[in-house]
Structure 1
Amino acid sequence: MASEPITEFIVLFQMMCVVVVFAYLVTRSQWYHEVLDGILSWKNQVFLILVFGIVSIYGSMSGVEVLGAPLNIRDTGPMVAGFVGGPIAGIGAGLIGAAYRMTLGGFSKIACSVATVLSGLIAGLIFIANNRKIPALVLGVAAAIIIEGIHMGLVLVFSRPFSQALTLVSDVAFPMIAANAAGIFVFGYISLNLKKERETARERDRYQGELQRKNAELHIAREIQESFLPPSLPALPGYTLAAESRPAREVGGDFYDVLASPGGRVGLVIADVSDKGVPAALFMALSSTVMRASAAWHQQPGDAVRDANTLIAGESRSGMFVTLFFCILDPEQGTITYVNAGHNPPLLVRDDGTVHSLSMTGMALGADPGESYEERSLSLCSGDLLVLYTDGVTEAEDSSQLQFGEERLADVARRERSRPAGAVLASIQAEVSAHTGAMPQFDDMTLVVLKVGT
């Protein structure tokens, strides 16, 4: 067979095709995965020695003879073993390849056998110097070129006659250096990519596990938050009452409450914390608890809101605040007395369709600990409708970023005013959903509806 470098390289390239398939199969095995993860047990070391020793033997068997010496990729196996498993694996695989090389004879058998063992040793030392990690692709290929250069040098130093050794090295140096470097490139490329894939998979699994844990925590947080809302609404003779809160996220900052008050009176609360998500939920829990305690202590809504504001302002170190509307309904007298602490003005729709806004009577809770709150009273008549809401209702946007708005809300309330509270609430929610279409809900939405008369 012709011994020209190009012809020889083509032969070696054919051998490399087999190596590529072998490399793919080996790197997909469980023990090789353990090696990539840094688990260099004696069992895995033995596997490395045997498998890459066989690769080294194949490199000799499939080579072509030039001047009585095989042109081959024998050093690829020990180098790979050393790069991924350290000196022990590299030397072990090299000894297997060297032993087989000695059986082939030839004037360069000693030099080539020593070079094979040395290739595994050098690769293993590079592995240790690289903090027991597979070297980068450029470093691995560069090392393979240098190791094969040393191989050629050993042939020149120890093989005799020198003229024959020089002729051999001149013929095989380029194809052998290129082919062995290509073999290291193939194994290195597959191994490094596999390692990256495994690291990415572990990161993904860790992220998914963390996400599941957080979702479970948020689910529990939502259940806890829902426990702050009334489990059921009281039956009020001569009135119908409905309420619902829909957080934009797992937890939210809106809340409502229905509080018993002396003399058969009933307190209605709706509030909105100035944030979303977990921070708002925590502040909502504080505000709800404080407001409930303050309302139980004070008979008048102005006093209850004032003391609640003082306590909330004292705890609001994050700059958060809460808008709140609190009214006390006297069912027998047919009146409400209310305080609006910076909240969206509730709508009072009279039986004749006239709409009144219950405007603010003070600042949001937590903004100013010394704020005072004005009380206002209104008489309710049969057929009147009171709609309390948070800004998530009126600020719900469609695909053109057009908000639902107070005007639409007032139109729906006016149109539905003759229906019970539950039906009115459902109609408002349906209109908001029709307005937003496929757009996601970006803010918490809470509604409390009180209808005078059944």
Structure 2
Amino acid sequence: MNRMEQIARLEQENIDLKTELGLLRQDQEAGYLVQQRLLPANGTCHLGLQLHYWMRPSLYLSGDFIDFWALDQQRVMFYLADVSGHGASSAFVTILLKYLINRYALEDQASPARLCARINRELIQSGLEKHMTLVLGCLDTAKGQLTYTNAAHLPPPLLLEAGQARPLAGRDQPVGLFPEAEYHEQLCDWTPASRLCLATDGILEVLPGKGLEARQEEWFRRIEQAEGELVTLLDALPGSADDWPDDVTLMTVSAQPNANR
């Protein structure tokens, strides 16, 4: 092969590479749009409760996912999931998760523990070799009660009341990793002044502090300072989100302003 042929070959390979990258980018952008369409609208209200969230994927697609919906006339369900890994494969699992929870929520009587056990079995049987941490909860507005299961999720959910952030108790095994995993439900009171604050563990990677415990304490402190308001909290976070190494999702559930109680 002479020099001119080598140059022509390299130019063609460069064109082919650019074409493949363009197609890959189009696929990622299409996947991003699909995933975004499956998310609840920011500021969604159900039964006097309001959802606010902020989601930043490290790539086009996120392994983090949330949902928030009215199950009946007095109960609202929600979850925050963090699937292992990054990118398309993790994002596909978030779509499967949404399908499974919507399918089984009523069948399992809106029990967070039963739902976690069911999703654990389904995910292991799927052979996808993916697992997730998950906070799954049910808020009963008539009883003023929050029922939830924490499947290995860090940082733990925080209940903010009277300016004090309290980590909610309980932490079970991840979903999709151990066939015999058991999940348990925790209960706590819920008042019109309560605010639930959740985040995926990507937030701990951008906070100062030596070690996991110190960074969690820093997170609790910042939640209290911001009074659980996402805009205030985001303004106080260090660095640029473009430089963060992991998916990061923040989520709050609180009383809808001026809601009839």
TM-score grouping bracket, smaller chain normalisation: 0.7 to 0.9
8 A contact 2:80–2:135 mirrored in 1: yes
2:251 match: secondary structure: strand
Greater Cα shift, 211-220 or 224-233 = 224-233
Q: 1:293-346: CA deviations, max 9, x gaps?
A: 22232222222222122211211x243201100111112322211000111211
> What's the counterpart of residue 19 of structure 2?
209
1:219-230 matched pairs, under 5 angstroms: 219-230=29-40
Instruction: Report what 1:440 is aligned to.
Output: 243
SS of residue matched to 1:284:
helix
- Measure how far apart 1:233 and its partner are: 4.9
Structure 1 match to 2:118: 307
TM-score using structure 2 length: 0.86
Aligned-residue offset at 1:384:
2.5
Deviation (angstroms), 1:415:
1.8
Contact 1:383 1:453 in 2 (8 A): no
Confirm whether residue 370 of structure 1 aligns to residue 180 of structure 2: yes
Aligned equivalents of 1:297 and 1:426: distance in 2? 37
- Residues 1:279 and 1:205: Cα distance change in structure 2 (over 3 Å): same
**Does the Cα contact within 8 Å between 2:124 and 2:179 map onto a contact in 1?**
yes
State how 1:111-130 maps to structure 2 within 5 Å. Answer: none
Structure exhibiting the larger radius of gyration computed from Cα positions: 1
Corresponding residue for residue 450 of structure 1: 253
| C-alpha spacing 1:197/1:451, structure 2 compared with 1 (3 Å) | same
What TM-score, normalized to structure 1? 0.52
Partner residue, 1:21: none
Determine the structure 1 residue equivalent to 2:87: 277
2:189 matches 1:379: yes
- Asked whether 1:247 is paired with 2:52, we answer no
CA contact (8 A) 2:42 2:53 kept: no
**Match in the other structure for 2:232:** 427
- TM-aligned CA deviation for residue 453 of structure 1: 6.2
- Count of matched residue positions in the alignment of Structure 1 and Structure 2: 254
Deviations 1:245-267 (A, max 9, x none): 22110112110011322342100
Indicate how the Cα distance of structure 1 residues 350 and 231 shifts in structure 2: closer, same or farther if over 3 A, else same.
closer
1:397/1:383 CA distance change after superposition, 3 Å:
closer
Q: Is the 8 A contact 1:233 1:258 kept in 2?
A: no
> Shift of the alpha carbon at 1:414?
0.9
> Which residue type is aligned with residue 91 of structure 2?
A
Q: Is residue 291 of structure 1 aligned with residue 94 of structure 2?
A: no
Deviation of the 1:368 alpha carbon: 1.9
Change (3 A) 1:209 1:395: same
Does the 8 A contact of 1:267 with 1:329 survive in 2? Answer: yes
The residue matched to 2:130 in structure 1 has which SS?
coil
Q: Relative to 1, partners in 2 of residues 1:219 and 1:368: Cα closer, same or farther, differing over 3 Å?
A: same
**Aligned residues with identical type, % of pairs:** 24
Deviation at 1:290, TM superposition (A): 1.5
| CA 1:279–1:238: 2 relative to 1, 3 Å | closer
Deviation at 1:391, TM superposition (A): 0.7
Q: Which runs of 5+ in 2 are unaligned?
A: none
Establish whether residue 343 from structure 1 lines up as the match of residue 115 from structure 2.
no
CA distance in 1, matches of 2:92, 2:113: 25
Q: 1:356 aligns with which of 160, 166, 170?
A: 166
1:382-413 CA distances to partner (integer Å, 9 max, x unpaired)? Answer: 43221011011122268x99999322322222
* CA–CA separation in structure 1 for the residues paired with 2:130 and 2:33: 23
Aligned AA (1:256): I
Which runs of structure 2 are paired with 1:175-190 in the superposition (5 Å)? none
CA offsets per residue over residues 76-103 of structure 1, 9 Å max, x none?
xxxxxxxxxxxxxxxxxxxxxxxxxxxx
Whole-angstrom distance in 2 between the partners of 1:447 and 1:296: 27
Task: Letter of the 1:376 partner, please give it.
Answer: Q
Q: CA, structure 1 residues 301+318, in 2 after alignment: closer, same or farther (shift >3 Å)?
A: closer
Q: Is the 8 A contact 1:264 1:330 kept in 2?
A: yes
What are the residue-to-residue correspondences of 1:99-138 with 2, within 5 Å?
133-134=1-2
In the alignment, does 2:63 pair up with 1:258? no
**Between structures 1 and 2, the one with greater helix share:** 1
Structure 2 counterpart SS, 1:443: coil
Structure 1 distance, partners of 2:44, 2:240, is 33
Structure 1 distance, partners of 2:203, 2:128, is 26
More strand by share: 2
Q: How far apart, CA to CA, are the structure 2 residues paired with 1:275 and 1:286?
A: 16
Matched residue of 1:297: which SS?
coil
- Tell me the CA shift for residue 243 of structure 1: 1.8
**Cα distance, 1:238 vs. partner?**
4.7
AA in 2 matched with 1:447: L
Q: Distance in 1 between matches of 2:234 and 2:94?
A: 23
CA deviation vs aligned residue, 1:365-393 (integer Å, no higher than 9, x gap): 11123322111111123432210110111
Identify the structure with bigger relative contact order (alpha carbons < 8 Å, sequence gap 6+).
Answer: 2
